[in-house]
Structure 1
């Protein structure tokens, strides 16, 4: 199996483009979908989830449910060729956004739980 480009793009100690395996590449793709604002990519203005726009919104049950649907639909739209999304949990605290996604990698059948953090804390 051929290595994929790692994200963020960088060079290794030999001065070559850094590669990664399929599981890490898919994790990188999920992170890009979650934390890219629609309109940020020139050739794909609708790419992304719009998730970061809800970080400073007041917490509520309705906001949490809406955010989970937003994330799940964005992941299904952009990554359905690579993953099957089983569940999404979104938590906000102050200026930190934590998204936990349970998914199955289509190529290997591996079930993965990934946590993605954006903002003030880790």
Structure 2
């Protein structure tokens, strides 16, 4: 199991994985709406496409749903769409997708960061 920790006080956050430190640099910032009108998976995929300088259609492998449960993520910050109630939680969820670190925050931000330098643990 990996030992993961983040430093929340710098713009270039560091992620420690099994005693190796990876420094991240933010390359794309987007916002999304919690009101259910937007599609969070599309927003994340668009942010990755922006980071890669590619068309959104080219960002399909692996499918995002194989990396993170997007429905659980939407419900975590937005609440169940049938209940008309919003979750009263704050925070963020981070995961890796296509070599990037994606951070989805409860305040409606999506941040895509890439590792600084050439070495990155698999």
TM-score, length of structure 1 as denominator length: 0.34
Which structure is higher in RCO with an 8 Å CA cutoff and minimum separation 6? Answer: 2
Higher helix share: 1
